[in-house]
Amino acid sequence: MIDEVSAWLRARGAESVPHAGGSLYEHLGRVRERLAGHGLGEDEQLAGLTHAAYGTDGFHVVLLDVTDRAELRALIGVKAEAMVYRYGGCDRDRTWRALPSTQTIRCRFTGNAESPTPAELRAFADLSIVNELDVFERSAEIAAKAGDYFRSVFPTWEPLASPSVMADCRRTLGL
């Protein structure tokens, strides 16, 4: 399955999209590997591998228009695609700081608010943290610009995220 998804990403041009630490393709692979290293399941790993398919609030390159969700759903499955949609659609300014208290994710695609299940919220938090840790480690510019923000937000997510991801977060961000 990973090989099939990797081929899909290459066909979509992910190898030629610049990203912290090389290309978007390389970043997506590292995020998947890091999620796997935390013992997270196949759905979480597939979501990690494709998390930027619809673009994100912080990365505006789109590999697949959000109106074509059925294509990604057929490739990685319903559960993993829902994670990608939730992650890519997250309005970070309206979600991240408030997440521990509201447990609500605001969607930049629709403007709607969603209250995910605890398992869905954990998958969202884990993917969000792991993604930013990879960027933080590979871009001194992003680390300088966003490091304090990450250090102020991610510790508040401890009740939401996997213990292994939070330990990685503390280690990587020097908390």
- Per-residue pLDDT of 49-74, as tens digits, reads 999 999 999 888 999 999 999 999 99
- Calculate helix-pair angle for 2-11, 69-76, nearest 10 degrees: 150
Name which of 96, 149, 89, 161 is nearest 125 in CA terms: 161
Coil, strand or helix at 6: helix
Cα distance between residue 153 and residue 140, in whole Å: 19
- The mean pLDDT value of the chain amounts to 97
Instruction: For 18, list phi and psi in degrees, rounded to 5.
Output: -65, 145
Average pLDDT of the residues in 98-107: 98
Q: What is the structure's pLDDT at 125? A: 98
The two structure tokens encoding residue 151: 């250090």
117 within domain boundaries: yes
175 within domain boundaries: no
- Residue 55's region, left for phi above 0, alpha for psi from -120 to 50, else beta, is left
Confidence of residue 21 (pLDDT cuts 50, 70, 90): confident
The two structure tokens encoding residue 164: 């292994």
Domain that holds residue 19: 2-169
174 within domain boundaries: no
Confidence of residue 122 (pLDDT cuts 50, 70, 90): very high
This prediction has a pTM of 0.96
Would the pLDDT of 120 be above 90? yes
Q: What is the structure's pLDDT at 58? A: 85
Name the domain count of the chain. Answer: 1
131 within domain boundaries: yes
Strands 113-114 and 105-106: antiparallel
146 within domain boundaries: yes
